[in-house]
Amino acid sequence: MKSGNKRYIGIFSLIFVNLIWAGSFPATAIVVQKMPSVLLTLLRLGTASIILAPFLRLPKGSRWDIRTIFLSVLLGIVGFAMPLYLETEGLRLSTPAMAAISIALEPLFTVIIATVMLREWLPKRRGFAFLLALFGAWAIAGFPRPGAPGYIVGDLLLLLAVLCYGVYNAYSKRLIDRVSASAAASVTLLTGFIATIPIWFLTGAHIPHEFNRADWIALLYLALFATTGAYLIWLFALKSLPASVAALFLYLQPIFGVILSILIVGTRPPAYFYLGSVLILLAIFLGRQSKADTRAENSVQLASGK
């Protein structure tokens, strides 16, 4: 497949996966009314692990070496188990304003890690695009302000959770350089599931006793689409696009989230929503991967011996 076609497929995949993730917020809000968030994550990761288990078997001529296994385990723990606990505790001890800002910081943390730790090429235009998108996401959230006294522990836990997500987003590209996207999704979800089991026991191992039809529909959506399908699509998109470009598309989630609330609940978005949406779409356009960026990135990789 030509590189241009792969890039367009990657872009379409990123738009689709962020639409799925945007729908996970209302679905999660439904399920956590009856089920602890730790158990919800355990069921999401466990379901995805079972469905994607056949991909753990690599094709002939390939094998799971020690470095690949170590990276897989690390990403499973850092990308799923750790941020789950940190985010849950952070939301309990912090404020909604800080939660909104921390979510908006995930793409920015992703690109910082990819640029500093992985030496990924970052054009100045794309760096400006991230700042523009961050301001747009802040606008959509209604310009919330952190800093409420007495919430410092919760704020730090939320930032640590977002940092974990950024590490997973950036370093998962290293994993798919070693194995296929399907195998990478399978092994990280499996290790995340295993690492979440002790957290569930430590938090009381609660099991819900009442579950209605809406709860089951929301749970199935989260397990099958927002976890199994979404993370597989995310890693597939990273095969054709740099992590810094893919991270920019994460800012589509607040736009899709408001649009879904308009369609489902009939809410009226504030004027800030339109300002933020325009800024985010402009940022994605400015941060796109051009042919000049590809040539520059290849030159950097050749110079570094990769």
DSSP string, the chain: --HHHHHHHHHHHHHHHHHHHHHHHHHHHHHTTTS-HHHHHHHHHHHHHHHHGGGGSPPTT----HHHHHHHHHHHIIIIIHHHHHHHHHHHHS-HHHHHHHHHHHHHHHHHHHHHTS-----HHHHHHHHHHHHHHHHHTT------TT-HHHHHHHHHHHHHHHHHHHHHHHHHTTS-HHHHHHHHHHHHHHHHHHHHHHTT----S---HHHHHHHHIIIIIIIIIHHHHHHHHHTTS-HHHHHHGGGHHHHHHHHHHHHHT-PPPPHHHHHHHHHHHHHHHHT---HHHHHHHHHHHHHTT-
Q: Please indicate, yes or no, if residue 75 is contained in any of the structural domains.
A: yes
Q: Please indicate, yes or no, if residue 259 is contained in any of the structural domains.
A: yes
Q: Please indicate, yes or no, if residue 248 is contained in any of the structural domains.
A: yes
pLDDT value at 59 more than 90: no
Q: Please indicate, yes or no, if residue 47 is contained in any of the structural domains.
A: no
pLDDT value at 304 more than 50: no
Domains identified in the chain, total number: 1
Q: Please indicate, yes or no, if residue 234 is contained in any of the structural domains.
A: no
Domain of 133?
A: 52-206+242-303
Q: Please indicate, yes or no, if residue 83 is contained in any of the structural domains.
A: yes
pTM of the model: 0.85
**Mean pLDDT for all residues in the chain:** 86
Q: What is the pLDDT of residues 237-292, one digit of tens each?
A: 998 888 889 999 999 999 998 898 888 777 788 889 999 999 999 999 999 876 55
